[in-house]
Structure 1
């Protein structure tokens, strides 16, 4: 009689220590721990039989690992492990084969070590034990393991495509649960804390749901190139049943305001519970969730913020703005009726780390993926992975979406004025080569500056050569040569004499409720008097560059004597802008001028954000693990209006899951104080992240360090 399997035990907690997966809540669950294993690494299992001990002279034992609906070894979706105690297998040089060795044979139990190759698909696997007799091979007893098993990538293994040679960095890019995302315009950008929470119990099941909805072939789920591209597609819901619905108009009554999220876990939990897309997300939320998913699957990932980011809607590698004969900006793009170029105050995406065997040597390493739905790629809202090396060199012919990313960080800002004598109907009046991609930031590894920015890392040089350098221009023109639409725009030149210099001064930090001024300095460099028409204006805008409300505008004409200078100023009072602010309190100032003698036209703009107060968090000195502790939050309403529909979101990776606390309406200048309770799971330094949102004011954040002890000091 063939062996009858009574139990298969996968040692989830014991294996997790060697596989660096012991932080996953699925693994540490007391009632039903779930194994989470890294491919390309040995793990231990035990098989117990109910009718007799294993006999190597008469028994055949196989363990089958199956992935997806139609598993097959040729497709890499099935691993067949034949157990032969007389043989001792070792990992072959290329690590392509599954194998198993007997570690211990005691009575009715075999203890085995099994090796899974480093290129197998990631996600949920099924396990089956098959036993038969050598004398009757076709009579098979099967035992199905009644539980889940996850295999994920192994960036510590040099044969895995996600391998990172600087393995210490994996503590940051795979294992760190709390990070920062830099948001806000250039002058006031600030790192806001984000809890990735990749080890939370809901994350891998939510990722599995995403896999099932994605349509990505099971055999392709081991390739990080295909995986990361699919993640960029499925985190947004524009053309599939993805995770997040994007919205940028400030109306979030039927969902959660993007600025209210403290991290990815509540989003993925809602997605898993409802199996529907979650409302709402914006770029940093899409990036935070994408980074959580990548880290949960073992793909090294970081969040990247591009300050002054171009959205090139027609593949010209330019951001084009058009003006009529009266110097009025046109509300549409005459050369692209289906879309419009724009400049985002900032834009956030993710970098993932992997080899790129599909590209020439040297193009592996960090790759950009963007889950925010901006333009379609291969007919779907997805972007990347685009090699940073390819972006830096302008290699737009390489997969995937390199041209779009080149434009995002290095497009030239071109302004055009209606001109019926020109072939295009417009003459280029100004080109700014320095405006886009002013600074590209990510969090510095192994640092965390609470409510400060000392932990930011400038990685601009990884995306492009120094702005204005010969190498930067060569890489851009290399991209232009490979893009037909771009050639036409860069071939257009202007013969207008430019002998007047204009400079729109950037604003310093302005606190909410303070007045500010728009200032343009003008210098006449020639020996003749110049007659100048100028317009200055200010408006509130959403962070993606879409105008909200005009605030103030002034225009005039004047004569500028030879070799002289002039300063024009438009002052905007707090009363003029406070009622017109939209989410994040960002404003844009505009200036446009024409020298009537030469037809020289200049235009420029600048974005800035009025500074809002932070949430103050008071943490007791003695916080004890597994014991409730009360923490106080304090915030002052800075507006001259009542705040309604007030909510605090509070969370911490090992302190508490996302907690939503509603608060009554808050009168102008009033202080809000609330208490909440946390129960820390572990000792050590933990991070608490909070946000405040209301109909009238959003984007208020706060964070605090919580030192957790095992006993009272």
Structure 2
């Protein structure tokens, strides 16, 4: 009989991808598996059949210079602490036996090599080298990233599209984002990110060993998303000048950014802002197998001197000025990753804050976290990593100061404004979920969330002068093409008349910057009788704001000055104006089938008082292979235009088709999305 020969190994890729929920990651020819769960390979033999009594198999697993050897046993038990392999003798095919291999739950993430070695009476037989990728496993209870509910695993690992929330706490805007973890080149980029990191360059063996720990992984990724210290993915830009790169508002997904970074030999992509940094990090962590979600903190404090106080300055006419290194961002976006924290104790397990936007150094590097959300809530500022900084972002006090030629005319202290609303996308649905109570002790988080989301009117009072109160109220959530309607209510609580000078001022501002120059103002005198209440209704017309504000926010202020005493009172409101919306319709919504061409129509109505032109970008992970761009010619005021696009779904399940229309004339982007249920062929 011909001698025993080990011809080759079949990695059974299709079966293993399905079993490990890694279908779509990489390519159909690459094996991607998760630690803590077995995968099967088949051995193709030539010559005599395999004899378990006289033949022995060993599996050699290599990661860089690290390696492990797992003897193939006939015991199906797997160890959570070491590489194991077994053969099922009851169903073994002597000419094509199968071997089940399982990585320990503490195995490092990375690109591995595999060799099968056979020992027989005739000598040693070695198979050729095979490659596979190993990821964390949130489905495995022994894995440090295990998350216990299937709907959360679907959302925080497998969902490749989502919503990012921006704007202001009382006028929230959602931005569509395609995480693209199943798109071409994205897995490669995420693994390359680990290998381009300074940690890997300095000591490859140490880096490989540390990759078993999601705490370490998340800190490396947090630092590598920004390019401040390394060959990171994105360069931040908050100047408003984006001619050397892309306006951050124009990005719609992570795939384009990561592929461009790899293609440029790891030169930083220009440009990102906080939601872009966070969304790209969410993609990388989901690809690596760590549950991740994007979180928005409205009224987020940047406390540079660690005193948990943010100072804001206004002139006596309501002009907001930059007088402090501290700042409040109308919104700031970071991510949370789910993991256990054996370094801090099981009480700190769960969601961890990680912020890849470069703000302050953490242990000498521009990264932030992982800071346990539970530690932030309990103000455990003694714990690593960066808990004090995150505490300040959600809990700092605000001191609002009116100045005139260096003289303080009034001061107000607000303990509720910072961290007014903290939210993320709901599990399984394209809507907002408030998580404010996870970060801070609030009286009733659900009582205020509905008014914030709906834009219901809510009075905002600030400092008072003697016996006089002033309130500033948005009558409804501002929408592009409609007047901004607001009300100033003044109450004279004293039993004597008052003559008051009133100053109203509106400025455009980026979410993390001081406002620019005034674009609208009004001034006047008001006489108040004893105990009188006056209501002043105001409006800012579209022609007064639409060429100034764009995707920026509006800082609105009212200052009252007692003519007799010259005392000052101030009330302010910062808000976004809801962008125009795009409408997307699918030709046959109930019959969308994988690999069959479908048609969608995108409709836009110009809400502006003058013609606009722009660029329409349509994308959808699993629906459109590459984003499609159309140039829209000038469209008259109140005019409507439609664009039809054909697409062929590549993946089954709920997918998001989304469109952005960039309107550079008005510095604004119109957005829209449609959830598409893609069925298997023959299933409706």
TM bin, normalised by shorter chain, reads 0.7 to 0.9
* Other-structure match for 2:437: 461
* Other-structure match for 1:129: 116
Aligned-partner SS, 2:358: coil
For residues 694 and 330 of structure 1, the distance between their equivalents in structure 2, rounded to whole angstroms, comes to 29
CA offset digits 1:180-235 (Å, max 9, x no partner)? 22222223313333222222232210101111112331211121111112222212
For residues 642 and 373 of structure 1, the distance between their equivalents in structure 2, rounded to whole angstroms, comes to 38
* Other-structure match for 2:587: 620
Matched, 1:156 2:139: yes
CA 1:598–1:399 in structure 2 vs 1: closer, same or farther (change >3 Å)? farther
* Other-structure match for 2:61: 65
Structure 2, unmatched stretches of 5+, are 200-206, 446-462
- Offset of residue 437 of structure 1: 1.8
Are 1:502 and 1:522, in contact at CA under 8 Å, matched by a contact in 2?
yes
- Offset of residue 38 of structure 1: 1.0
Q: What do you get for the CA RMSD once the two structures are aligned?
A: 3.3
CA offset digits 1:144-194 (Å, max 9, x no partner)? 424x31111111222111111234421222222222222222233133332
- Offset of residue 365 of structure 1: 0.8
Counterparts of residues 433-448 of structure 1 (less than 5 Å): 433-448=415-430
Counterparts of residues 477-492 of structure 1 (less than 5 Å): none
My pick for the range that moved more, 298-307 or 680-689, is 680-689
My pick for the range that moved more, 154-163 or 503-512, is 503-512
Matched, 1:693 2:662: yes
For residues 506 and 90 of structure 1, the distance between their equivalents in structure 2, rounded to whole angstroms, comes to 65
* Other-structure match for 2:278: 287
* Other-structure match for 2:42: 46
CA 1:571–1:650 in structure 2 vs 1: closer, same or farther (change >3 Å)? closer
* Other-structure match for 1:378: 363
* Other-structure match for 1:230: 220
Matched, 1:652 2:620: yes
Structure 1, unmatched stretches of 5+, are 72-77, 334-339, 449-454, 470-494
For residues 514 and 419 of structure 1, the distance between their equivalents in structure 2, rounded to whole angstroms, comes to 35
Aligned-partner SS, 1:548: coil
Counterparts of residues 346-361 of structure 1 (less than 5 Å): 346-361=331-346
* Other-structure match for 2:230: 240
Are 2:464 and 2:570, in contact at CA under 8 Å, matched by a contact in 1?
no
CA offset digits 1:107-161 (Å, max 9, x no partner)? 454321122110111121111233456898xxx6654424x31111111222111
Aligned-partner SS, 1:351: strand
CA offset digits 1:643-673 (Å, max 9, x no partner)? 45x3222122221123231314324324332
Matched, 1:510 2:494: no
Are 1:429 and 1:601, in contact at CA under 8 Å, matched by a contact in 2?
no
* Other-structure match for 2:448: none
Are 2:137 and 2:143, in contact at CA under 8 Å, matched by a contact in 1?
yes
Q: Quick one: which of 566, 572, 597 aligns to 2:540?
A: 572
Are 1:523 and 1:566, in contact at CA under 8 Å, matched by a contact in 2?
yes
Are 1:8 and 1:47, in contact at CA under 8 Å, matched by a contact in 2?
yes
Matched, 1:90 2:77: yes
CA 1:141–1:591 in structure 2 vs 1: closer, same or farther (change >3 Å)? farther
My pick for the range that moved more, 154-163 or 627-636, is 627-636
- Offset of residue 527 of structure 1: 4.7
CA 1:516–1:24 in structure 2 vs 1: closer, same or farther (change >3 Å)? closer
- Offset of residue 431 of structure 1: 0.6
- Offset of residue 329 of structure 1: 4.7
For residues 211 and 345 of structure 2, the distance between their equivalents in structure 1, rounded to whole angstroms, comes to 23
Counterparts of residues 164-179 of structure 1 (less than 5 Å): 164-179=147-162
Q: Quick one: which of 636, 640, 644 aligns to 1:675?
A: 644
Are 1:2 and 1:133, in contact at CA under 8 Å, matched by a contact in 2?
no
* Other-structure match for 2:558: 591
- Offset of residue 629 of structure 1: 2.5
Aligned-partner SS, 1:174: helix
Counterparts of residues 600-639 of structure 1 (less than 5 Å): 601-621=568-588, 622-639=591-608
Are 1:249 and 1:542, in contact at CA under 8 Å, matched by a contact in 2?
no
For residues 135 and 683 of structure 1, the distance between their equivalents in structure 2, rounded to whole angstroms, comes to 49
* Other-structure match for 1:316: 307
Q: TM-score, normalised by structure 1?
A: 0.83
CA 1:662–1:434 in structure 2 vs 1: closer, same or farther (change >3 Å)? same
For residues 211 and 230 of structure 2, the distance between their equivalents in structure 1, rounded to whole angstroms, comes to 18
- Offset of residue 392 of structure 1: 0.9
Counterparts of residues 385-396 of structure 1 (less than 5 Å): 385-396=370-381
Matched, 1:145 2:126: no
Are 2:403 and 2:410, in contact at CA under 8 Å, matched by a contact in 1?
no
For residues 7 and 618 of structure 1, the distance between their equivalents in structure 2, rounded to whole angstroms, comes to 50
CA 1:585–1:321 in structure 2 vs 1: closer, same or farther (change >3 Å)? closer
CA offset digits 1:399-441 (Å, max 9, x no partner)? 12112222222221112456999xxx97981111222222222
- Offset of residue 464 of structure 1: 1.1
- Offset of residue 354 of structure 1: 0.9
Q: TM-score, normalised by structure 2?
A: 0.86
Counterparts of residues 539-578 of structure 1 (less than 5 Å): 539-555=507-523, 560=528, 562-567=530-535, 571-578=539-546
CA 1:607–1:102 in structure 2 vs 1: closer, same or farther (change >3 Å)? same
- Offset of residue 54 of structure 1: 4.6
CA 1:323–1:671 in structure 2 vs 1: closer, same or farther (change >3 Å)? closer
CA 1:698–1:174 in structure 2 vs 1: closer, same or farther (change >3 Å)? same
